[in-house]
Amino acid sequence: MPDNKGYLYFPGCSLRATGVAYEESLLELFRVLDIPLQELEDWNCCGATSYMAVDEGSAFLLSARNLSIAGQKENHDLMAPCSACYLVLRKTQDYVAHYPEAGRIVEEGLMAAGLKPFNGVHVRHPLEILYNDVGLARIKAQTVRKWQGGKLACYYGCQAVRPYDEVDRPHDPVRMDELMNAVGAETVDYSLKTKCCGGSLTGTIHDVGIRLNYILLKEAVRKGAEAIVTICPLCQFNLDAYQSEISRQSGEAFDVPILYFTQVLGWALGGDPKALGLRRSIGGKGLVRKWFSPSQEVLAHA
């Protein structure tokens, strides 16, 4: 679809909390791309993770309310940057369409709330928007700062790519890699790109969560990556926030920047470094400062 009419934007809780750097860099990136984003008014929790596990029906209803609001809008492309939001919204549509039981719950719920049933809402993820709607060609063309930083490991996590295959190939996604390459960044063949980041396990069964993140960091480094790039606030948080603890436990010192792909792209496309939420990084502060500093500005098309 033509990006001039822009997208409806569903931030979700993460982008207003642990993942605020994601929102900052995303908004800056779309600003430089000159693609308008219209925040969905009066949006509520997407119903993700724990809620989905406690009471599926209510979780669907939470999502359904957001979809219903979006359904009344002119623009039906609803962008959900958080993988969890993306998945639950998408899953709600899917279940309502294919499982009468879920359909009934949602229909009755919406009716009780005086909301219209949603139709034609197209749930989108920024990775797939940048790849399909904007396109590598335009990204290349608009790259002003050639990437001078180190090799990157693109980490997709699970929720954005499975079970739905609209964001990328479920088992071997490549679009983030291609976007990174498009702005001159080299990516490593990272075999764990869709493995588990522990999700909320870091909060519940801590040891397991920590171990999973340890594996991710260790393999990225082994493959020669100096930073990990993510498309999901939860992945980013887990990998970033627990690095010191992981280092302590494993006795291996990790100091790896965990970036959002929108930060790298935003920077490459000439966004204001201050607007990219870079200062919020925990791991690999030094590298982040180095890579995104004016000294690194090499004109791409010079």
Partner 1 sequence: MPEPNGAIRVGVYVCHCGSNIAGIVDCKEVAEYAAGLIHVVVSREYKYMCSDPGQDLIRNDIQEHNLNRIVVASCSPHLHEHTFRVATANGGLNPYYMAMVNIREQDSWVHTDRQAATEKAKDLVRAAVRRVVLQRPLEKARVAIDPNVLVVGGGIAGIHAALTLANAGKHVYLVEREATIGGHMAMFDKTFPTLDCAACILTPKMSAVKAHPNITLWTYSDVEKVDGYVGNYNVRVRRRTRYIREDLCVGCQECIEACVYKQPKFADEFNQGLGKRRPIYLPFPQAIPQTPVIDRDTCIEFKTGKCKKTCLEVCGDRHAIDFKLQDQVEEIKVGNIILATGFQPFDAKRIPYYGYGHYPNVYTSLEIERLVNASGPTNGEVVLRDGKTVPKSIGIIHCVGSRDENTNRWCSRVCCMYSLKLAHLLKEHTGADIFNFYIDMRTPGKSFEEFYQRLLGEGVHFIRGKVAEVTDWVFDPSEEGKLTLRVEDTLLGVVRRIPVDMVVLSVGMEGHQDAQDVRRLFNITCSTEGFFQERHPKLAPVNTFTDGVFLAGCCQGPKDIPDTVAQAGAAAAEALALICAGYVEQEPNCAYVIEEQCSGCKTCIPLCPYSAITFREDNRAEVNPVLCKGCGTCVAACPSGSLQQRMFEDDELFAEIEGVLAYV
Locate 266 and state its tokens.
């935003």
Q: Which pair of tokens denotes residue 82? A: 């958080």
**Structure tokens, 288:** 């982040």
Using CB under 8 A as the criterion, what x/- string covers residues 148-187 for binding partner 1?
A: ---------------------x-xx---------------
In the complex, minimum distance from the CB of residue 258 to partner 1, in angstroms, rounded to a whole number: 18
207 binds partner 1 (CB under 8 A): no
CA dihedral 296, 187, 36, 97 (to 10 degrees): -160
Q: Which is nearer to partner 1, 76 or 175 (CB)?
A: 175
Residues between 221 and 260 that touch partner 1 (CB under 8 A): 222
* Residue whose structure tokens are 């049933």: 117
Neighbours of 256 (CB within 10 A): 23
Q: Distance (Å, rounded) from C-alpha 118 to C-alpha 149? A: 44
- Do 296 and 278 meet the contact criterion of CB atoms below 8 Å apart? no
293 binds partner 1 (CB under 8 A): no
Site size toward partner 1, by CB under 8 A: 9
Residues in the chain: 302
CB-based contacts of 125: which residues, under 8 Å, 6+ apart? 79, 80, 81, 83, 86, 160, 166, 167, 231
191 binds partner 1 (CB under 8 A): yes
Per CB under 8 A, 215 contacts partner 1: yes
In this structure, the strands spanning 122-124 and 77-79 are parallel
User: Minimum Å distance from CB 168 to partner 1?
Assistant: 12
C-beta of 21 vs 217, nearer to partner 1 = 217
Token pair 């739905």 is at which residue?
164
Kindly state the smallest distance separating residue 241's Cβ from partner 1, in Å: 23
Q: Which range in 70-78, 97-105, 215-223, 270-278 contacts partner 1 by CB under 8 A?
A: 215-223
196: contact with partner 1 by CB under 8 A: no
Checking phi first, is residue 49 left (phi over 0); if not, alpha (psi -120 to 50) or beta?
left
Cβ 129 to partner 1 shortest distance, Å: 24
Residues that bind partner 1 (CB under 8 A): 169, 171-172, 189, 191-192, 215, 219, 222
